[in-house]
Amino acid sequence: MIKSVLFVCTGNTCRSFMAEQLLRHHAKNHKLYLEVASAGLAAFTGDAATDHALEVLVELGIDGMEHRARRIQPRLLDEFDLILPMTSSHKEQLLTIAPELAGKIFLLKEFAESVDPGQELSDPIEKSYEISDPFGKSLEVYRQAREEIDQAVQGIINYVLRGGATYIRKRGDDDLSTVHVVSHPLVQHKLTMIRDEETGPKDFRDLVEEVSVLMAYEVTRDMPLEDVEVDTPMGKMTGRAIAGRQVGVVPILRAGLGMVNGVLRLIPTAKVGHIGLYRDPETLLPVEYYCKLPVDVEERQIIVLDPMLATGGSAAAAITFLKQRGVSSIKLMCLLAAPEGIELMQREHPDVDVFTAAIDERLNSHGYIIPGLGDAGDRLFGTK
C-alpha cells in the first residue's frame, strides 16, 4: 500500500516541486493521508521555487512560497514507498544510487498510466513518458508542464482510491489479473490487531471473521444485477437484485476455515467446498490430501479463501484443481500477500484476480511472510 511518495527532478524548483504541491492538494481534497516530498539530483539546497512555477500553482489556489529545494541523499530514498522521477535520465541516476530500490522507482507518467514498471529503459515506449524541463522558458510552457504533471498526479490519486494495488495490468495484456488491496480503514485497523502477537486465538478468530466480511463486500462488488419489480407498503417499484452465477466458497484447509463464516454472513446462500493442502517443509511445494466440492461447482462463481498468499504454491495448486473440475470463474481472497506469491499467481493463473488486505515486504528463508502475522492456522486454532 502506498503511504509516501517522493518526486524527483534536476533542481527541485520546477517539476518535482509542482508535482509535490499538486499531490498534496488533491490528497487533501480527497481526505487521503499521504506523505509527499520532492528533491533534486542536482539541487542547490535552500533554493526557492521559480517564479513561474509559483505563479501557475497560485492559479489553482496553491501557495508554494515556503518551498526550499533539497538534494537527493541515499538515505532519503529509503524513506518512501514510491519514487517518481520525471525523465529516464533521472531514473537511471536513481538506479545507480540505489539499485536495490528498483521495485519502487518509476517514471511519474509511466506509473500514473499503469504501464508495466519493469520495462527496459532502452524500450522506446518509455521516451513518451518524459516530462520536459520548463526551467528558463515562458509562463505558458510552465502551464503546459503543470497540466501534464497534474494529469499524472490525478492518476496516482485514482490509484490510491482504488486500493493502491501494487501489481497493475501490463499494456497490451488485457487478460492479466489484477491485485486489489482492500484499504478500507476498518480492514486496516483490524488487520493490525490480527498481526499483534498478543492477540489470542479467540480474538484472532473473531477479527479474521470480521475482516472477511468487509473484504467479501469488495470481492463481490462486480456481481451483475437485474431489474426486479416489488411491492412496497407504498406501491410498486423496480429494484435491483443479484443476477448471474451463484457463489461458492472454497477454503484451503486449514487456515482458510477461519474466513468462511465471514463470507457466509454476507452471502448465506453460498455453498462451501474444501480443499486440503499442506506445504512440504523441505520443497515448500503443496501436497493435496482432501478435496470435496459442491456438485454444481463448475456453474458457480468461486471465491477461494487462504489467509496467507506466501509462496503462492498452495493457492495456485488449489485453483488448478478447481479448473480441472470445470470451474471457470474464480477469485482469490487472502489477508496478506507476498510479492513472490502474487508473481506466481499472475504467472500461473492470469485470469484470477487477487484480493488482499495488504502486500508485505517479502518471504523469509522458511517461506513465511515478513512482517506478516505468523502461522495463521496455528493462531486460529491455538496450535504450534
| Spatial contact of 36 and 24, defined as CB atoms under 8 Å apart | yes
Q: How far apart are CA 78 and CA 89, in angstroms?
A: 20
Alpha-carbon torsion, ordered 275, 276, 281, 284, to 10 deg: -10
Cis, peptide link before residue 371, omega less than 30° from 0 = yes
Q: Cα–Cα distance between 61 and 15 in angstroms, integer?
A: 18
CA dist 76 and 277 (Å) reads 43
DSSP code per residue over 312-347: SHHHHHHHHHHHHTT---EEEEEEEE-HHHHHHHHH
Which residues lie across from 292 on neighbouring strands? 274
- Let me know the angle formed at the C-alpha of 201 by 199 and 206, rounded to the nearest 5 degrees: 85
| Whole-number Å distance between alpha carbons of 77 and 4 | 11
Give catalytic residues, as residue numbers: 279, 283, 375, 378
Q: Give bridge partners of residue 277 from the DSSP assignment.
A: 288
